[in-house]
A and B are shown apart, each in its own frame.
Chain A
Amino acid sequence: MPHQLLVDSNFFLELKQFRSEDCKNFFNLVSSGALEVLTTDFQLDTIALVMEQKKSPPSDIRSFFVSISKFKGLSVYSMSIADKIDATEEMESSTLDFDDATSLAVMKKLKITKIVSFDHDFDGVECIQRIEPDQVVFSFAQDENEKS
């Protein structure tokens, strides 16, 4: 089954911020494998960079990546040069910066139409829909109810 959702790095960073509970509920579903989502290596590197900037020791950054590897429902897409070339084309046809355009390029390539993100820059971008964690968790619960 192809992935339906791409997760933006700000979602991980929100785990200790204002929407932490929503993000935690979302990631618990992903961790157990009940929900299958995709992110890119580029997004994860962004988190490592933020951690380093905030003086996290290398051992913490290592623990972050080990934790990521334990999410049963999270696939990590490794971006190719072709994806980065596509991203520059997305930059030309939208107002997205390079980081965001990499997500859009991967989404288009893999035919993913929803991005789980707090970044409003994705609002109004053609062919994709930005959604937030509570929406994902709610629609997951609805699907489960319909099944039972």
Chain B
Amino acid sequence: MGSLKLYVDDQVENSFRRAAMKKFGYGRGALSRAAEEALARWSEGSEISDELLDTVQDPVSTIEGLLKHVKGVSSVDLQKQASKIRAKRTIAKSASSASR
């Protein structure tokens, strides 16, 4: 078993302690179990291959280029449209699976 000494903001520490004890109880090891789960989740979620990461040098310019054809409508309208698309797709998919 490895050990880590971490320095975190008081607010984060308090909320972590509360959540860990609520889930794993007030006994020994509750904080370690919660920390292991959190650290594993974070590191697994952050693992992106170097090969992929190397494809992007300047992330801001890359995103700018990727969105070059997304013009004409205001960004807020695009965002609101996305929510309608989500809803339409869910309804269409559920209708099509119900008719099968």
- The reply to whether B83 and A2 form a contact with Cβ atoms under 8 Å apart is no
- The reply to whether A60 and B56 form a contact with Cβ atoms under 8 Å apart is no
User: What's the count of A-B pairs with C-beta under 8 Å?
Assistant: 112
Digit string of B36-51 for contact with A (CB within 8 Å is 1, else 0)? 0000000001101000
When the two chains form the complex, which single residue of A17, A31, A70 contacts B75, counting CB atoms closer than 8 Å?
A: A17
3-33 of chain A: CB within 8 A of chain B: 8-18, 20, 24, 27-28, 31
**A49-B82, A50-B79 known; A2-B59 Cβ under 8 A:** no
- The reply to whether A99 and B83 form a contact with Cβ atoms under 8 Å apart is yes
**A2-B9, A46-B82 known; A67-B63 Cβ under 8 A:** yes
Number of contact residues on A: which range applies?
35 or more
Dominant secondary structure of chain A at its interface with chain B: helix
Smallest CB gap from A54: residue in B: B70
Say whether A98 faces chain B, with CB atoms less than 8 Å apart: yes
Digit string of A100-137 for contact with B (CB within 8 Å is 1, else 0)? 00000000000100000011100000000000000000
Say whether A35 faces chain B, with CB atoms less than 8 Å apart: no
Say whether B6 faces chain A, with CB atoms less than 8 Å apart: no
CA distance A118 to B79 in the complex (A): 11
- The reply to whether A13 and B75 form a contact with Cβ atoms under 8 Å apart is yes
When the two chains form the complex, which single residue of B60, B68, B76 contacts A24, counting CB atoms closer than 8 Å?
A: B60
CA distance A99 to B81 in the complex (A): 11
Say whether B32 faces chain A, with CB atoms less than 8 Å apart: no
Chain A residues in the interface with B (C-beta under 8 A): 1-2, 8-18, 20, 24, 27-28, 31, 46-47, 49-51, 53-56, 60, 62-64, 66-71, 78, 97-99, 111, 118-120
